[in-house]
């Protein structure tokens, strides 16, 4: 699998709790590259998901591991012969080597030029530059423009993927013009028919602008000290009004604001975003979104969205 072989150079970002087989299959079948976040999935389920996705598409897709956590399902997805893997939040040459032994390419998401250099030295087949504009957990403290320029200037002959704050054809055209081989969009795909996001979360993305997002440490229940970009909501406002106190003394910390499909409690500061099956005060849960939310005005099917974005990009040529 080579990024340059993609019919449409658009990757769907792995999105814990939000991506799903239907979304990944739609993106891949449309000519882009879908993905599944596997960090928090047990091995048997992970292998099964890879096989189920393979049954729905003959086109390439990838799975992702946030390596701040033990990659418990890494061997399982390799055994299932996943087409590609990405790593984020760290470097691990041993994992890259294990995938390469089975002929599986590995991309590494980075937030610094030093991270890109290490990833390439470790054998990464592509690097994903994540700018601070990104939705979800944000490794970067640099704008995408600066990071992309620095990584392209490394001139190491490894495809570079641009991510963070992009949501329309003009963004894609801009990134390719700056030397990116492909782009990776997250927030744009939250607001699609196929995503597992709660309908109110999708609607909130459509109705918000970049100014309605914050880069914060607020929602750290389950993943402390990792910055993230979310839509501003009541939980965030109350925490800020209290002076952004640390874990243990935050307002409403013990509140159960919602429940997931199995009835499990979701606490106010949980890192889990609300899914279609979540019940309760879903708007008080964290809702990841990047600065590109300004340009998202609808909730299409990903099958239509991928070629539409590509056409928008090409029309500008």
Ligand X SMILES: Cc1cc2nc3c(=O)[nH]c(=O)nc-3n(C[C@H](O)[C@H](O)[C@H](O)COP(=O)(O)O)c2cc1C
> Binding to ligand X by residue 134, rule CB under 6 A?
yes
* Residue choice 71, 90, 165, 169 for contact with ligand X (CB under 6 A): 165
Range 54-113, binding ligand X (CB under 6 A)? 64, 66, 88, 109
> Counting contacts by CB under 6 A, is residue 16 touching ligand X?
yes
Using CB under 6 A as the binding rule, whether residue 14 contacts ligand X is answered as yes
**Residue 163 binds to ligand X (criterion: CB under 6 A):** yes
33 binds ligand X (CB under 6 A): no
Among 34, 115, 159, 292, binds ligand X (CB under 6 A): 292
CB of 167 to ligand X, least distance (A): 7
Choose the stretch contacting ligand X; rule: CB under 6 A; options: 9-17, 45-53, 278-286, 303-311: 9-17
| Contact status: 115 vs ligand X (CB under 6 A) | no
Interface with ligand X, residue 130, by CB under 6 A: yes
Stretch that binds ligand X, among 22-30, 99-107, 180-188, 296-304 (CB under 6 A): 180-188
- Told to check if 273 binds ligand X by CB under 6 A, we report yes
Residue 225 and residue 274 in contact, taking contact as beta carbons nearer than 8 Å: no
Which residues lie near ligand X (CB under 6 A)?
A: 13-16, 18, 37, 39, 64, 66, 88, 109, 130, 133-137, 163-166, 185-188, 190, 273, 288, 290, 292
């Amino acid at each position: 699998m080579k990024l340059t072989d993609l019919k449409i150079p658009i990757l769907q970002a792995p999105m814990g709790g939000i991506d799903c087989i239907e979304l990944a299959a739609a993106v891949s079948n449309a000519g882009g590259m879908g993905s599944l976040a596997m960090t928090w999935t047990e091995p048997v389920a992970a292998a099964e998901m890879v096989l189920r996705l393979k049954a729905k598409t003959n086109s390439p897709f990838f799975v992702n591991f946030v390596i701040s956590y033990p990659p418990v399902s890494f061997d399982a997805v390799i055994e299932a012969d996943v087409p590609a893997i990405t790593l984020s939040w760290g470097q691990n040459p041993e994992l890259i080597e294990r995938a390469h032994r089975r002929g599986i390419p590995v991309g590494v998401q980075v937030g610094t030029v030093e991270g890109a250099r290490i990833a390439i030295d470790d054998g990464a087949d592509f690097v994903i530059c994540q700018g601070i504009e990104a939705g979800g957990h944000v490794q970067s403290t640099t704008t995408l423009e600066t990071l992309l320029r620095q990584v392209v200037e490394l001139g190491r002959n490894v495809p570079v993927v641009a991510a963070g704050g992009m949501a329309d054809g003009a963004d894609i055209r801009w990134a390719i013009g700056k030397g990116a081989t492909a782009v990776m969009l997250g927030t744009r795909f939250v607001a699609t028919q196929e995503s597992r996001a709660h309908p109110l979360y999708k609607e909130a993305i459509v109705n918000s602008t970049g100014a309605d997002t914050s880069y914060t440490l607020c929602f750290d229940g389950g993943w402390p000290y990792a910055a993230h970009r979310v839509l501003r909501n009541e939980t965030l406002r109350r925490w800020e009004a209290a002076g952004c106190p640390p874990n243990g003394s935050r307002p409403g910390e013990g509140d159960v604001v919602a429940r997931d499909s199995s009835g499990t409690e979701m606490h106010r500061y949980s890192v889990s975003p609300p899914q279609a099956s979540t019940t309760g005060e879903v708007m008080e849960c964290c809702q990841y979104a990047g600065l590109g939310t300004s340009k998202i005005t609808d909730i299409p099917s990903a099958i239509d969205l991928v070629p539409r974005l590509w056409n928008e990009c090409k029309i500008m040529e």
